[in-house]
Chains A and B, each alone.
Chain A
Amino acid sequence: MDDFLAARMQMALSLGFHIIYACIGMVMPFFMAVSHYKWLRNGNDVYKNITKAWSKGVAIFFATGAVSGTVLSFELGLLWPEFMKHAGPIFGMPFSLEGTAFFIEAIALGFFLYGWDRFNKWFHWFTGVVVGVSGLASGILVVSANAWMNSPAGFDYVNGEYLNIDPIKAMFNDAWALQALHMTIAAFASTGFAVAGVHAAMMVQKKNVNFHLKAFRIAASFGAIAALLQPLSGDLSAKDVAKRQPAKLAAMEAHYHTQASAPLLIGGIPDPENKKVDYALEIPGMLSYLAHGNFSAEVKGLDTIPERDHPPVPVVHYAFQVMVGIGTFLMVLSVMLLIAFRRKQWLSARWFLMLFALATPLGFIAVEAGWTVTEVGRQPWIIQGIMRTADAVTPMPGIAWSFYLFTAVYISLSIVIIFLLHRQIKMVPVQYDVPAGSSQKH
């Protein structure tokens, strides 16, 4: 494996790993806060147990997210020193604010995890909310840095020099708001369906149904609201990308040739050699409508962009299809959940719970796919239109070895975490089981 590819793979691996833990770490505190609130309000101990059980998951995910985030802050330089040398002072502002948000999150988590029965109960609840809010803030801030790579702002690029640097302008770049919105909703949807799916799977096995049903309702509600909102944010993002990064949009849709009334392709196998797509389902005019709000508008194809600036089309196209496909499926599940809240018998029906159990990993697969779209779709640029990824890579040889090493570490960590969660869930009956009848005030 050549060093450049290895560096890209290592970065992708590290981010792909971190993104899951970061999402869970920033979203689950909100689930906990709801459950915790219910316990404080109505004294039903099942909710206390759910909060405690979830908080153990959060502790594991937060620690993993924190260390993998620390790794990333070094890897930016270890792998892309040339990029950081120039970009650091420009897009560093959100990172310095994120440092604060992350720090507050860590402090609040210390209070929350170790503060049971030690503080005023509402103060304790509040520290849990702070964990969520500061986690969300740090997520949104980090997306600003990524958005800057897609939509560089806050400097003038003159003869290879970065002049008139304005970090505030760089932070409020054009891509930030929509990217942050899309990512935040995605975090809620993926975590919501993942957590709901685990509880659904336990209900399928008829284990501790009272406990798992309550947990399921909270997590699935968050997931469903997010999944129903996501298409709106996706639509805004698509229009934005069409305007700012036509090459990315063209790669997402494998849209090789500029065309008025461009069709939307569903599925299909891009053929980069002959610049065509085989076996795709075409919806006439739909791409023009989605990109420009007009069925007959012209959509720029890859033919308007020099070949050396093309992103790899098949990867981006497949990833986009996966993201949209899963998003649509989760939307259907969300509607079914709303129906189930009316028709209570669904909530104990095996087929219904099985559907949710099967959907457990889907949200995160969509997150990884969406992130692949935005990152691979930006290639060959590390800073869109300014610096090529290949020019940013470290001069140190042998990066392939470090890639293998990190791959081994991240795979073993993932295995251990799945193992730990399995054990946590297995122990639920021992640690938290409250018989269905005993939900009175205490």
Chain B
Amino acid sequence: MEYIVITYLWLAIVLYFLLGGADFGVGIIEMFTSTKNISRTRRTMYHAIGPIWEANHMWLIIAIVILFVGFPVIYSQLSVHLHIPLVILLLGIIARGTAFVFRHYDAVRDNMQEIYNSIFVWSSFITPLFLGIIAGSVLSGHIDAKAHDFATAYVFSWLNWFSVAVGLFTVALCGFLASVYLIGEAEDAKDHHRFIHKAKTMNIAAVCCGALVFLAAQVERVPLANWIFGDAVGLSAVILATLSLVLLWTQIGSGRTTLLRILVGFQVTMILLAISYAHFPDFVIIRNGENLSLFTAQAPEKTMQALGSALLIGSVLILPALFYLYYSFQKKKVNGS
């Protein structure tokens, strides 16, 4: 049962990165859209994510619940040492979700819209930035369980080059995911080209940020290169990701939007696999100490059994409904509303 729970945890995190990430990315795209095109882009975006954004963010809740039920020590350690970035993440989530809904449901259209827009756009940037910072910190080895002073325990645990680089990388990936997703949602040929162009720019940004992550890993002595290239799974994941990227560039103008979405999703999944596989079952890398492993830090057997069954039952109920939701609100079906 523990493998089922761990698989679900991994899937929830990957799905949150992919779906929630694309969702954040839509706000990032809005940030980099010229005033000329912005109202059309907003309409496209709204049609694209309006019906599904809340479901996309449920994966975060699923991941958190799995952590605190199944791996309570990991959950409470991270809550203590990453308190500050977690609070910023939460404020970002509040700001973004409410601004998105408020701007649509405000019955009067006036300059309040400007306020909603800027809150939405900025929180779409800050939230994934801190999500990435948190993810980076979990791996960075900067969490110090024995620290006594405030800065070491609660600030440098996440404020370091590596975590920040991962944060930026996450933002770029979100923008990349979203722009590829939006290619399929474009209303006309002009928008189609615009989103292709965005996707290319975002992809270049993501590759640059990826390089930055490796650089920062060198500076902070995180054995990232070792994890990824020193391991058959990590290495093949990276090779596959690169191949799919090449394929993506050759196909990006082809109009095969489903293929593009699969390729970009596959690519991000491979990146996450490469990063998470090498130090499995260790989940949190702790400075000079015992890393928190998914095997040793887990809840008692009976809890894992119950959690695993709850997840299996839950997915039988959720997944068909979720697929039908995505299917129903694809571009083709959207007419006239």
Contact = CB atoms under 8 A, between A and B. Distances in A.
30 contacts: A59-B104, A59-B105, A63-B97, A64-B97, A64-B101, A70-B93, A74-B89, A74-B90, A78-B83, A78-B86, A84-B76, A85-B73, A88-B69, A89-B303, A92-B303, A95-B69, A97-B314, A99-B61, A99-B314, A100-B313, A106-B55, A110-B51, A110-B54, A111-B51, A111-B328, A118-B337, A167-B69, A167-B307, A402-B83, A416-B98
A73 B97 contact: no
Nearest to A422: B107
Given A66-B97, A70-B60, A107-B318, A116 B107 contact: no
Contacts of B70: 89, 92
B75 A103 contact: no
B97 to A, nearest CB: 4
Contacts of B333: 118
B310 to A, nearest CB: 4
B79 interface: yes
Interface residues of B, number: 64
A114 B54 contact: no
B317 interface: yes
A111 B325 contact: yes
Interface in B303-323: 303, 306-307, 310-311, 313-314, 317-318, 321-322
List 6 A-B pairs, minimum CB-CB distance, nearest first. A92-B69, A77-B79, A89-B299, A100-B314, A88-B72, A81-B76
Interface string B56-93: 01101110111011101101111110010011011101
B204 interface: no
A46 B41 CA distance: 34
Given A88-B299, A93-B310, A110-B325, A394 B101 contact: no
A115 to B, nearest CB: 8
A93 B107 contact: no
Interface string A123-153: 0000000000000000000000000000000
B52 interface: yes
Contact of B69 (A96, A397, A423): A96
Interface string A404-442: 010001000100100010011011000100000000000
Given A103-B314, A118-B328, A60 B102 contact: yes
B72 A96 contact: no
B259 to A, nearest CB: 25
A420 B106 contact: yes
Contacts of A34: none
Contacts of A104: 317-318, 321
B154 interface: yes
Given A109-B54, A165-B303, A420-B102, A92 B93 contact: no
B79 A81 contact: yes
A102 interface: yes
A413 B94 contact: yes
A68 interface: yes
Contacts of B54: 62-63, 66, 106, 109-110
Contact of B337 (A62, A109, A114): A114
Given A84-B68, A85-B73, 13 more contacts: A60-B102, A63-B98, A70-B93, A74-B86, A74-B89, A78-B87, A92-B65, A107-B318, A394-B79, A394-B80, A405-B91, A420-B105, A420-B106
Contacts of B227: none
B50 A77 contact: no
B79 A74 contact: yes
B329 interface: yes
Nearest to B298: A89
Contacts of A96: 65-66, 69, 306-307, 310-311, 314
Interface in A281-316: none
B185 to A, nearest CB: 14
Contacts, number: 210
Interface string B256-288: 000000000000000000000000000000000
Contacts of A93: 69, 303, 306-307, 310
Contact of A167 (B73, B302, B337): B302
Contacts of A338: none
Interface string A72-88: 01111110011011111
Nearest to B66: A96
B296 to A, nearest CB: 14
B189 interface: no
B325 A107 contact: yes
Given A103-B314, A416-B98, A67 B93 contact: yes
A88 B75 contact: yes
Given A59-B105, A66-B97, A100-B318, A110 B52 contact: yes
A117 interface: yes
A395 interface: yes
A427 B105 contact: no
A77 B80 CA distance: 8
B302 A165 contact: yes
A71 interface: yes
Interface in B104-123: 104-108
Contacts of B93: 67, 70-71
Contacts of B337: 114, 116-118
A174 interface: no
B2 to A, nearest CB: 13
B65 A405 contact: no
A84 B80 CA distance: 11
A113 B97 contact: no
A90 interface: yes
A360 B68 CA distance: 38
A77 B68 contact: yes
A56 interface: yes
B305 to A, nearest CB: 9
A195 B60 CA distance: 32
Nearest to B315: A100
A103 B62 contact: yes
B325 A71 contact: no
Contacts of B61: 69-70, 73, 99, 102-103
Given A107-B322, A113-B51, A395 B80 contact: yes
A67 B311 contact: no
Contacts of A413: 94, 98
A18 to B, nearest CB: 11
A176 to B, nearest CB: 16
Contacts of A260: none
A10 B311 CA distance: 31
A396 interface: yes
Contacts of A397: 150
Contacts of A76: 68
A405 B91 CA distance: 9
A64 B333 CA distance: 28
